[in-house]
Structure 1
Amino acid sequence: MSVPLYQAKAEFFRTLGHPVRIRILELLSEREHAVHELLAEIGVEASSLSQQLSVLRRSSLVTSQRRDGEVIYAIAVPEVNDLLQAARQILSAVAAEQADLIAQLARTTH
């Protein structure tokens, strides 16, 4: 039995619904990273990073490979970069609208 597209999309966005996973994807969108590099950049416990990387691997958003005794992670689907950029643009637009509303409120007394 196949899953409806809207349900698959909801599951995909749930996968993205953790700040550490988003940060991992942001870093990997720049370049491949070894686990120790991700740990240094993100600043979470190793077990937490491992858990979040596992979620991203299971969802096929990242890949891992062993190289010179280290595990190296990379983005598996280049379109993730586009999604991260789109999220930034959406947040910028929403923030601009909120700033306009705040400015209007500041100008009125009623």
Structure 2
Amino acid sequence: MVPLYQAKAEFFRMLGHPVRIRVLELLQDGPLAVRDLLTAIKIEPSNLSQQLAVLRRSGIVSATREGSTVVYELVGGDVAELLRAARRILTVMLAGQQDLLAQLNDAEPERMTP
């Protein structure tokens, strides 16, 4: 049996690709056809297909065929909540970095004075 911490690490590793994150962000607003994802992300169809396959295998997105069109959607709302939480965390982290940068910029003239 895989320890929970290892399963979580695998989950986050699966999320660890910019295209996958962007797909998940786009799907937060509802199901989208592959052509719409391609228009929004602007990557090669083979690359998108590969990333969609990873998301589908993980079980966080599902695909349905509507004629010749394949439509993807999030399986549950938890992924959307995770992405919102990540945005909040990044906002705090980047705000902290901005504060540090401001402090460094304020301190810079003092160090340069002979």
The TM-score with structure 1 as length reference comes to: 0.95
Tell me the number of residue pairs that the alignment of Structure 1 and Structure 2 aligns: 109
- State the distance in 2 between where 1:11 and 1:106 align: 39
What is the match of residue 76 of structure 1?
A: 75
- Please tell me whether residue 58 in structure 1 is matched to residue 57 in structure 2: yes
Q: CA deviation at 1:67?
A: 1.3
Q: Which secondary structure state, in structure 1, belongs to the residue aligned with residue 43 of structure 2?
A: coil
Q: CA deviation at 1:104?
A: 1.1
What is the match of residue 42 of structure 1?
A: 41
The TM-score with structure 2 as length reference comes to: 0.92
Percent identity between the aligned chains? 55
- Please tell me whether residue 15 in structure 1 is matched to residue 14 in structure 2: yes
- State the distance in 1 between where 2:96 and 2:33 align: 39
Q: Which secondary structure state, in structure 2, belongs to the residue aligned with residue 30 of structure 1?
A: coil
Structure index of larger Rg: 2
Q: CA deviation at 1:69?
A: 2.5
What is the match of residue 102 of structure 1?
A: 101
What is the match of residue 91 of structure 2?
A: 92
Q: CA deviation at 1:33?
A: 0.3
- State the distance in 2 between where 1:103 and 1:46 align: 42
> Which of 100-109 and 83-92 deviates more?
100-109
Q: Which runs of 5+ in 1 are unaligned?
A: none
The structure 1 segments of at least 4 consecutive aligned residues displaced by more than 4 Å after TM superposition are none
